[in-house]
């Protein structure tokens, strides 16, 4: 297997650790007198005590030494208390045991996408993504290279059989193979589909065969809309050598405004993530990390999971309302999958429909808004696709939105028919 150092892009190979950041472990040695770091004196901090009130009705205070730690500079990898807690959470959630060197807290999992692209991609490298793809990922990758290998989606997630065929073609021609595969395995954004267990295993087999890494971005893992066993993650399924870099997020299950996520992977890869972060932003906010730790300490993992499950009932109700309304109002030639995770439904309109034109010409008048498929396109133009989110609207609003969407579809059909008749005249 290719080593991490061999995989790094040239821009990442010349970096050295921050000499000041590397001294931080010494600060925890009992009796240490530090005359080194330029830390502000805690006497100057504005916070003496922080009170947090949770939806459960319980309250928690961050005060004393905890308030100082939440206000002060901290370790790059994780808040000193949250780090071990996240390792326990990860094992509780996924059954994967990790060391502290294999975890890094991020400013949302989006930061992990950018770091991954920065570390591993040269201009002439290529990356496998789904088609359609989450634009935050394609945007992060495009900052460093624009060579995408598109793997289509169906009801069972990324089509790994078609990906395998494409990889074999590249290999036969002697073309460059991908540095990594980017996948959203659960509740894909925008596709709304979840990768089957068979395809997860197949993707790991392909990674071993063609020696690439896998970036598993899984923010919707716990936004589960059916009462089924959670599928094992790619990270949980892999053996040695370890190729999966996993991104977890608290945005969809805790509070998106806190911008909290974390990356887990082999220690050699996380070390490279840490080196990037030392110079990019030093560390994720100690205060927001303390807030998450306070919640987990007060409520425990089981209660947190129960809260997430209760919230998923709201999303399930909204999904069901959108599916019911789509079946009632949309013409039968409009197809879609029913998502088992996440917040999105991907609508495929008849060939020739132009989703961007529909939004441009009809959205303001009909007062309904969806995202045109072109925003998520890689290989195909996806002009006849739309993404709808059911996360923020209530039952009746969803039904009315689908009714207006049906009107939008009808108007586009009339335009296409008018264009056809005009063409016949000429």
User: What does the pLDDT look like over 34-49, one tens digit per residue?
Assistant: 877 788 998 999 998 9
Residue 2 lies in a domain: no
Same domain, 255 and 402: no
Domain span including residue 78: 7-28+39-49+59-300
Task: Examine the domain organization and report whether 369 and 409 are in the same domain.
Answer: yes
Are residues 359 and 386 located together in one domain of the fold? yes
Quote the pLDDT of residue 131.
96
pLDDT at 37: 75
CA distances from 155 to 152, 180, 191, 196, 266 (A): 10, 23, 9, 9, 31
Instruction: Provide the domain count of the chain.
Output: 2
pLDDT at residue 17, rounded to an integer:
84
Domain CATH number, residue 403:
3.90.1150.10
The last residue of one of the domains, among 285, 300, 315, is: 300
Q: What pLDDT is recorded for position 27?
A: 81
Query: Do residue 237 and residue 278 come from a single domain?
Result: yes
The whole-number pLDDT of residue 98 equals 97
- Are 251 and 344 in a shared domain? no
Instruction: Specify whether 149 is located in the same domain as 249.
Output: yes
- List, in order, residues 6 or more apart from 248 with CB less than 8 Å away: 90, 109, 218, 219, 221, 261, 262, 263, 264
Sign of CA dihedral 178, 182, 185, 188: negative
Q: Supply the DSSP symbol for 97.
A: -
Long-range contact pairs involving 164-168 (C-beta distance under 8 Å, separation at least 24): 164/202, 164/206, 167/206, 167/210
Same domain, 339 and 284: no
Same domain? For 82 and 211 the reply is: yes
Whether 232 maps to a domain, the answer reads yes
> Which CATH number covers residue 146?
3.40.640.10
Residues 203 and 77 in one domain: yes
Residues 6+ apart with CB under 8 A from 13: 5
Among the three residues 300, 321, 349, which one is the final residue of a domain in this structure? 300
CA dist., res. 106 & res. 108, Å (int)? 5
Task: Give the domain-ending residue among 300, 319, 338.
Answer: 300
pLDDT of amino acid 15: 80
Same domain, 343 and 393: yes
- Phi and psi angles of residue 421, each rounded to the nearest 5 degrees, phi first: -65, -40
Closest among 396, 374, 398, 379 to 388, alpha carbons compared:
398
Contact residues for 313 (Cβ-Cβ < 8 A; gap 6+): none
Residues 279, 396 within the same domain? no
Parts of the chain with a pLDDT under 50: none
Give the pLDDT of residue 347.
98
Tell whether pTM > 0.85: yes
Do 295 and 319 have their domain in common? no
Give the pLDDT of residue 423: 78
Distance CA 395, CA 393 (A): 7
1 domain residue, yes or no: no
d(CA 409, CA 223): 30
């Amino acid at each position: 297997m290719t080593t991490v150092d061999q995989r790094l892009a040239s821009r990442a190979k010349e970096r050295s650790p921050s000499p000041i950041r590397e001294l931080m472990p010494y600060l925890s040695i009992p009796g240490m007198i530090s005359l080194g770091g330029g830390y502000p004196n805690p006497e100057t901090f504005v916070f003496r005590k922080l009170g947090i009130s949770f939806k459960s009705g319980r309250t928690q205070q961050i005060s004393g030494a905890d308030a100082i730690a939440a206000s002060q500079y901290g370790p790059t990898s994780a808040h000193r208390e949250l780090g071990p807690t996240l390792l326990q959470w990860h094992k509780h959630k996924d059954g994967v045991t990790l060391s502290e060197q294999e975890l890094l807290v991020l400013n949302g999992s989006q930061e992990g996408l950018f770091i991954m692209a920065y570390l591993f991609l040269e201009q002439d490298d290529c990356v496998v993504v789904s088609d359609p793809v989450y634009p935050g990922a394609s945007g992060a990758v495009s900052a460093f290279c624009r060579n995408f290998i598109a793997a289509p989606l169906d009801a069972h997630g990324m089509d790994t059989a078609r990906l395998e065929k494409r990889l074999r073609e590249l290999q036969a021609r002697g073309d460059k193979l991908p540095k990594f595969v980017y996948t959203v395995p659960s509740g894909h954004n925008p596709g709304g589909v979840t990768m089957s267990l068979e395809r997860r295993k197949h993707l790991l087999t392909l990674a071993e065969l063609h020696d690439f890494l896998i970036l598993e971005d899984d923010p919707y893992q716990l936004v589960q809309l059916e009462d089924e066993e959670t599928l094992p993650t790619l990270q949980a399924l892999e053996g040695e050598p370890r190729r999966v870099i996993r991104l977890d997020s608290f945005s969809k299950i805790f509070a998106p405004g806190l911008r909290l996520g974390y990356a887990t992977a082999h220690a050699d890869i996380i070390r490279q993530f840490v080196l990037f972060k030392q110079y990019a932003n030093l560390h994720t906010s100690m205060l927001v990390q303390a807030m998450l730790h306070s919640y987990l300490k007060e409520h425990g993992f089981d209660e947190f999971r129960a809260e997430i499950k209760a919230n998923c009932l709201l999303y399930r109700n909204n999904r069901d309302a959108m599916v019911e309304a789509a079946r009632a109002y949309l013409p039968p030639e409009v197809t879609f999958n029913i998502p088992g995770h996440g917040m999105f439904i991907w609508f495929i309109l008849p060939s020739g429909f132009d989703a961007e034109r529909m939004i441009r010409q009809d959205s303001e008048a009909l007062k309904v808004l969806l995202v045109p498929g072109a925003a998520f396109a890689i290989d195909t133009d996806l002009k006849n696709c739309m993404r709808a989110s059911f996360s923020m609207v209530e039952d009746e609003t969803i039904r009315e939105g689908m009714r207006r969407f049906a009107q939008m579809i009808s108007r586009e059909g009339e335009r296409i028919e008018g264009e056809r008749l005009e063409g016949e005249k000429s």
